[in-house]
Structures are given as C-alpha cells and as structure tokens.
Amino acid sequence: MEAYNSGKEGMAEIVFFDLETNVPNRAGQRFWILEFGAIVVCPQKLVELESYSTLIRPKDLSVASLKPSRCDGITRAAVANAPSFEQVADQIFTILNGRVWAGHNIQRFDCIRIKEAFAEIGRPAPEPVGMIDSLGVLTEKFGRRAGNMKMASLATYFGLGQQKHRSLDDVRMNLEVLKHCATVLFLESSLPNLLNGKWQDSPQIMTRSRTNGKFPSREEASRKSPPITSIGYQRKSPPVTIGYQRTVPCTRGSLGKVTESVRNLLCKAQGKQPLNSLLKHSHTLLR
C-alpha cells in the first residue's frame, strides 16, 4: 500500500477508521473485532485517497449474532469464512501506522481494541502521529445542539441519512459530519453578530409553534432580519432612533394637492407680508 505524497514535507495524512464489534452480554465476555474499515484522507483537500475494509472472524464464533441486531447485517454466517485478525494484521498496521488517526469516540474504544488485538497475536500495535476524536472535538467546538452527539444523531441533524453500522460507511459519514460542522462554525465566525453559534435558539427563526400557527407579516420579518448582501459583510443601515415618533398619514395622490395648495398660497402672498401670510396659511393647511 503506497503512501500518498501530500506535496508538503512533514504533512501527515489522516486515516479515519472504525471497528464493528460484538456487544458483550454477560460477565467476563470480551470485545471481539468483527469488521475493520478505514479511509486515508488528504488533509489539504479532504478527499479520499484510498480505503480498506474487511470482515474479521473472531476466535469465538458464538459472540457473533445468528441474526443481525441492527441494520449492519454482520452475522455469524457473514464472519464464519472471513480472515482472522492475524491474517489481516499487516494491512491494518500499514494503513494506520504513522498517520493521524481520526474517528468518533476512538480514544475510549477503537484505539483500545486495536491495541488488544495486536497484543493478542504478539505484535506491536501501530502508532499514530496525532489523534482527532470527533466526539470530543465536536462536543467542545460544536456543542450539543445535535443531541447526544452520537454519530447517528449528528447524521440525522445534518440530513445525511441513517447510520449503517458498517465500518467503511461509518467512517465516510464521519468525514461528512465533520465537513458540515466545520461549515456551520465557519459561517458563525464570519457573521458572529447574526449567527453567534445559536441558530437553533435564535429568535430570528420563526416557527408555527412560536407564532401560534401564524407566520409573521412581511413588515415584521423585514424588521427582524436586516438585509444581507454577501457572506462576510452587512449592508450599512441608516441609524436607528429609539423612541416614539408620530406618523403623519399621507394618502396616494395627496402630495400633488399639497404642492398645488402651497403654490397658490405663495401667489396670494405676493405684494403683502409673504412670511407672515405663508406661516398663517401653512398652519391651516397642515392641521
């Protein structure tokens, strides 16, 4: 498996990986790896460079379910003829060793299972040059706006479909979730006064439940949302005066009548006291 040259010396590649295991249901039962999947990603373009996945036959076949408990389809029959971990250890070592490891909750689960599996066959485990655990990163940077921060919840939040619980599908979904989260955080940092990381709680977003089944009028909507011309800057608005201001109604066509009345007044004021006459008649006009 050839390493990808990123074009910059010292630029490490990122490998997203995921394990599917049995779920221990009795005391003393251990985790066994049933499937390994990984993709190598260019850190500059976030494009997939290579991938590898394989089902793995556990030493104790009884840990694999006769029927799939989820939509993953990993059954005892599926792994019965799969290679053992020892048979695929070289490929797993090559794709993991010396790269940045990335995945969801890998620090507390997947990394431990990898070390256990290599220790069991008496071989040194691969070593990362860095670690990106998207569970911790997203919890800190993105917050719990998507709920419990499980991959299935994040995928649902962004409309990416249902998590399949297959290693290769899950790592690709993991990468897409990170792209979506990064985009949202970028937009919020570009427009902090408007977005400020609170899209889901923003009073600008009006729903039927918040308006008692009625959507706001066009005037109300324009008042709540200043015009935006492009990402990164906001069109300057005229200064706003806070306070009460009396509104003088003006019906359609009345402007011409007012102009005509003022012109007549000016004509009558000629030869007399123009200023006093104008003031006197203007009070009558504007009453």
How many Cβ atoms sit within 10 Å of the Cβ of residue 198?
13
190 to each of 47, 56, 158, 180, 223, how far by Cα in Å?
25, 46, 20, 15, 22
Judge contact between 79 and 173, C-beta under 8 A. no
142 contacts 184 by C-beta, under 8 angstroms: yes
Alpha-carbon distance of 190 to 29, in angstroms, equals 50
Tell me 108's DSSP state: I
Catalytic residue, from 104, 165, 180, 281: name it.
Answer: 165
Residue 15 CA to residue 38 CA, distance in Å, equals 6
Single out the residue of 195, 59, 180 nearest to residue 116, CA to CA: 59
CA distance 283 to 35: 89
Establish whether 165 is a catalytic residue.
yes
Alpha helices per DSSP H over the chain: 76-80, 85-96, 111-120, 134-141, 151-157, 167-190, 218-224, 254-268, 274-286
**What is the token pair recorded at 132?**
């990106």
Residue 113 one-letter amino acid:
R
Q: Which two tokens stand for residue 45?
A: 């373009």
Residues with active-site annotation: 165
